[in-house]
Amino acid sequence: MIYVNDIYNAIPEVNIKLFADDYNFFVHSRDTFRLSQKTNLFLKQINEWFVANKLSLSLDETCYTVFSKSIVNH
């Protein structure tokens, strides 16, 4: 818990929600190319934060979801 409390400072442009010993990051964009760019930048920043705090990311416990609005014509 001590480590993750300052994670807001590492990536201030990303919406972060902390839940006990877990956290969620929310990256959004209307443009999928821009979303990809923002996500890549975010991943570099969060990796730097992990390295600086001598932490590692457990890939087995990591997942992501992409939400999209789509219009269905009937």
pLDDT tens digits, 8-30: 777 777 787 777 767 778 888 88
Please name which of 13, 46, 44, 10 lies closest in space to residue 27, comparing C-alpha atoms.
13
pLDDT at residue 44 tops 60: yes
pTM: 0.67
How far is residue 21's CA from residue 12's CA, in Å, rounded to a whole number? 20
Position with higher pLDDT, 54 vs 57: 54
